[in-house]
Structure 1
Amino acid sequence: MAIYRKTHWVGEIKPEMDGREVTLSGWVWDIRDVGRIKFIVLRDREGMVQVTVKRSSVSEETWNAVSRLAKEDVISVRGVVKASKVARAGVEVEPIEVKLLNKANPLPIDIWGNVDETMLDLRLRYRVVDLKRRVNVMLFKAMSEVVRAMRNVLYSHGFIEVFTPKIIATSTEGGAELFPVQYFERTAYLAQSPQLYKEELTASLERVFEIGPAYRAEKHDTTYHVNEFISVDAEAAFMDYRDVMGVLEDVVIEAYRAAAPILSQMGREVKVPVKPFKVITYDEALSMLDKEGVKVKWGDDIPKEGLEKLSSLIKEPFFIIHFPTMLRAFYTKPIEGDESRSESFDLVIDGMEVTSGSTRIHDRKQLEEAMKARGLNPENFAMHLEAYDWGMPPHAGWGLGLYRLMMVMAKVRNIREVILFPRDRYRLTP
C-alpha cells in the first residue's frame, strides 16, 4: 500500500484504539522539539492528533526526516495508537515511519492565530491558504451537510432534482442585469435563475428542485451581495404559496439541524427554528416599521434597515407575505379580488432576506398582461409562453440563497466568508 494512502482520518483516532497500527496522512500543523522527543500536531480535514517521535524508537532515516519538517509540510505517518493521559484528546500516535510527501514554503498569511476581519481582502487573495484554517474547514463541512439535508427534505416531499441550462438566450425575469457570453456566432447570457425552466417542468415532472449557480450582473458593493451564488430552487405543480412555504419551513429547519453540531464546535450558538414560522403581511410590516420610525412607502421594497428592525422585534425567522403585485416579478400571481397585492412571500432570518417565492400565474393570457404591465414584450418570451398552451398546471415555488442562509446560521458579517472563491464586482480571481 502506498505510504500516503491513509487507513483512518485523524478525527477517528481514539484512546480505545490503543495498540492498533494506522496510517495517517495530512499536514504539519505544529512541531515542537524537546531534544530526544519531537511532537508533531498532524492535521487533516477531520481533526488533529499528536504524533510523538522518540529518538530511541525510530530509525535514523525517520528521525532525520522529522528533524527537517516545518509547518504545513505534507506528510504520511505509519504508527501505533497509544492512549495517553497527557496528550490532546487522550491519544497520540507513536510513529514507525514518517514520510515527507511535499515541502511547504512559508505561508503568505497567518492561519494559526486569531484573524482580523479587516484582513478579508488579503485572505481572499490567498484563499487556498486561508481555507486551511480550522474554522473554514468546519464551515464548509457544515455547508455540505446543509445541502445534503435540503436534498433529503425535498426528496421526502416528492421533489426530484433537475439541472437546467446556465447559458440562456434571454433574460429570465426581464431585467437587464445579465452577463453576456459569446456563444459561437451569437450573444447568450448567464442565467439569473432557473425560474422559467423550473416552471415549465411542473407540466411534466410536477415537483422539481435544483441546487446550482446563478448570476446577477448587479453593481452591488455590500456585505451580502455577490455576482455568482448558489440558488436552491423548488417548484411544485398543484401547490400555492402557502403550500411551498410549508416545504420551505422543513428545508430550513433541517438545514439548521444539520449544521448545528459542526457550527457549535466553532463556538457559534445555533438555535434550530420551530414550526410554524411567524407570518406578517407586507402592510403589517410597514405599520410595524412606521411605529419604529422607519418610513417605507407602500409599493417600495423593504430596505435592509427595515428587515433588521423587524427581526429585532420578532426575534425568530418570519415570513412577509402579500407584497404589492408590481413589486414582484411578472410571473407572480395576484390575489383574486385584490389585484394590487400578490400571493408572494419572503423569508427573513436575522435581518436577512434568504428566500423569495410565490404562487405563479399559470394562465397564458394573464401572464402576457403581467409582462406588458412591466414594459416587457411577450414576443421575447415566445418559447416559454408556448408551454402555457399545452396544459400548464397551477404551481408555486421559491428560490433560496444558500450563501445567505449559511451567513446567518454561522453568524458571519460578510457573505464572502461562506464562499470558497467569491465572485463580486471587483473580484474575478483566484
Structure 2
Amino acid sequence: MQDRTYTADAEPGDHVTVSGWIHEIRDLGGIAFLILRDSTGKIQIKFEKDEMDDDLVETGLGAARESVVSVSGSVEEEPRAPTGVEVVPEEVEIVSAADPELPLDPSGKVDADLSTRLDNRTLDLRKDDVQAIFEIRAEIMRAVRERFREFRCTEINTPKIVATGTEGGTELFPITYFGEEAFMNQSPQLFKQLIAGSNVERVFEIGPIFRAEEHNTPRHLNEATSIDFEGAFCDESDAMDVAEGIVKAAYEAVERNCGEELEALGLADEFAVPEGEFPRLSYEEAIERINATGELDEQLVWGDDLPTEGEKALGADVGGHYFITDWPSEIKPFYIQDHDHDEQLSTGFDLMHPRMELVSGGQREHRHEKLIDGFEQQGLDPNEFEYYTKMFKYGMPPHAGFGLGGERLVMTTLGLENIREAVLFPRDRQRLSP
C-alpha cells in the first residue's frame, strides 16, 4: 500500500491513510473512538456522529475487533489521545472483517492458557508482550551472528536429512528418503567438524535440530534451534571464551536495542548484562558444591549426571552463568577428546545459566585411531560413519566447539517460564500443528 502511513509517523496537519487492526472501539454516545493498531503502535480515530456521514460512522463502528481496516483522514493534535494525535476520518474501508467470537483476547485484558495461545498464534502475536519476545529473539540472533563474525567465523548450513545419527540410533526421527531409511539430524556436529578440518577453520551455524526425546517439560522441545561453533586450532578453553562472548553479546544487544520490548515485558528496570568472567568449575567441584547445599535426597557421586534439582541448587549457589568442565569421559559423546594426563577426564564442558544448561561443548578428538576407539567404546559401528571418520586420515587439526540452545538462550535471557513461549510454532510430543 504505497500511500500508507504508519501510526507512529502520523503528525498534526498531515493527511494520511493508516491501515491496521481494530484494537478497541469506545462508543461514548455522540462521539466514539476507534483505536487502530499497526506494527509501530496505536492511533485514535475520532467519530463525531452528528457531523459525519452515517455510512462512514456505521462502517467504522460496526466492524468487530481485530478486523483489518484502512482509514484516510486528517491528523489533529489531541493531548488526551494515547499518542497525542488523532485522525478525523474521511474514508473507512473494511479490508478484512474479523469474526466477533475470538478464541483469545489480543488486548491482553483476558488471559488465555498457553495451549490456547499456541493454537491461535497469529492472534497471540498481536499482543505487545508476545510480539516483544520475538523482536528480542530476532535481535539476539542478529547479535550472535555479528559476534561470530568478530570471532572470524564463516556461517555455514549443514544437511538436516542424514543417513546416520550424530550420536547413534537413539532419539532419532526416521523418514523415508526415496525408498531408503533416513533421519532428521540431531545436530550439525559431525559436519561442522569436517568443515573446521578444511581451510575454512572457524565456522558457525544457526539452524534446526530434531530429537525424538520423550521429555515433556517446560524446557524441552523436539525441534529446536541450535547455535553451533567449531574452530580449528582451538581447545576447550578457546571454545568457552567464544561461548561466553556469544551469550554476553546477546544480553548487550537486548539492553542496547530493545528498550521498548523490555518495557512491554515489564523487564526494563531489572534487565542486566552479566558482569565479569563466567566461573569455571570442574565437574568434581560441581558435585561437591551441590552435595553441600543439602538440596538432594541422595548425595551425588563421581560419574553421576547432574539432575535438574542439582543444577538448580548449584545455580542458586553460584548466582550467575558458569561453566562445568572436566566431565567424566564416560558421560560425554565419542567425539569429545579426553585429557592426555587422565583418560577418565574429558575436555567436555557445559555452560550453565542458574536455571538450566545452555551449552554443551569441548575439544574434539582429531586423532583417527583414538576416534575409532571412541566409537567402539560407546557401542557404535565406525563403518556407518565412514564419510566422517575417513577425513581424519587426511590431516585433521585439533579443534573444539559447542552447541548452544537458541530457545533456552531467549528463555533464560527474558525469564520465561516455558520454552514454548520462545518459539513461534513449537514442536513437542503433543503438538504437530499449527
User: Aligned AA for 1:231?
Assistant: S
Partner of 1:192: 186
C-alpha distance after superposition, 1:33-72 (max 9, x if no partner): 1234221111122322222233466555432321322200
CA deviations 1:161-182 (Å, max 9, x no partner) are 1111100000112241100011
Q: Could you tell me whether the CA contact under 8 Å between 2:25 and 2:61 is conserved in 1?
A: no
Q: SS at the partner of 2:300? A: coil
Q: Are positions 1:170 and 2:164 aligned together?
A: yes
Instruction: Report what 1:402 is aligned to.
Output: 406
For 2:17 and 2:154, the matched residues in 1 are separated by 40
Cα–Cα, structure 1 residues 137 and 403, in superposed 2: closer, same or farther, change >3 Å?
Answer: same
1:7 — aligned with what? 4
Structure 2 residue 28 is the aligned partner of structure 1 residue 34: yes
Which structure 2 segments of 5+ residues have no match? none
Which range moves more in the overlay, 124-133 or 335-344?
124-133
Q: Which amino acid aligns with 2:143?
A: A
Residue 426 of structure 1: aligned partner: 430
Which residue matches 2:216? 221
Q: Give the equivalent residue in structure 2 for 1:110.
A: 105
The residue correspondences of 1:246-257 to structure 2 (distance < 5 A) are: 246-257=241-252
Mapped to 2, the partners of 1:58 and 1:400 lie a distance apart of 59
Q: What residue number does 1:133 align with?
A: 127
Q: Distance in 2 between matches of 1:422 and 1:201?
A: 30
CA 154–18 in structure 1, closer or farther in 2 if over 3 Å, else same: same
Q: Distance in 1 between matches of 2:5 and 2:282?
A: 53
Instruction: Tell me how far apart the structure 2 counterparts of residues 424 and 115 of structure 1 sit (CA, whole Å).
Output: 26
Is this contact kept in 2: 1:279–1:318, CA < 8 A?
A: yes
1-side partners of 2:428 and 2:49: how far apart? Answer: 52
Kindly provide the amino acid, as one letter, of the partner of residue 285 in structure 2. E
Q: What corresponds to 2:372 in structure 1?
A: 368
Query: Quick check: 1:309–1:351 contact (8 Å CA) kept in 2?
Result: no
Deviation at 1:207, TM superposition (A): 1.1
CA distance 1:12–1:191, shift in 2 (3 Å): farther
* Residue 98 (1) aligns with residue 97 (2): no
| Counterpart among 343, 346, 352 of residue 342 in structure 1 | 346
Q: What is the Cα deviation at residue 97 of structure 1?
A: 2.3
Q: Which amino acid is the alignment partner of residue 273 of structure 2? A: V
2:314 alignment counterpart: 310
Q: Which moved more, 1:41-50 or 1:335-344?
A: 41-50
Superposed CA RMSD: 1.8
Contact 2:349 2:361 in 1 (8 A): yes
Describe the SS at the equivalent of 1:89: coil
Aligned residues: 423
The TM-score normalised by the length of structure 1 is 0.94
* CA offsets 1:227-257 (integer angstroms, 9 cap, x no match): 0011111111111111121112221112112
Give CA deviations for 1:315-350 in whole Å, capped at 9, x if unaligned. 111111111111111110111202111112111113
**1:243–1:99 CA distance, 2 compared to 1 (3 A):** same
User: In 1, distance between residues paired with 2:243 and 2:231?
Assistant: 12
C-alpha separation in 1, matches of 2:192 and 2:228: 8
Q: Among 253, 264, 269, which residue is 1:258 paired with?
A: 253
Displacement, 1:126? Answer: 2.4
- Give the counterpart letter for 1:150 in structure 2: V
Do the aligned residues in 2 keep the contact of 1:45 with 1:137 (CA within 8 Å)?
Answer: no
> How far apart, CA to CA, are the structure 1 residues paired with 2:89 and 2:146?
42
Q: Distance in 2 between matches of 1:69 and 1:231?
A: 44
In structure 1, the gaps of 5 or more residues are none
TM-score normalised to the size of structure 2?
A: 0.93
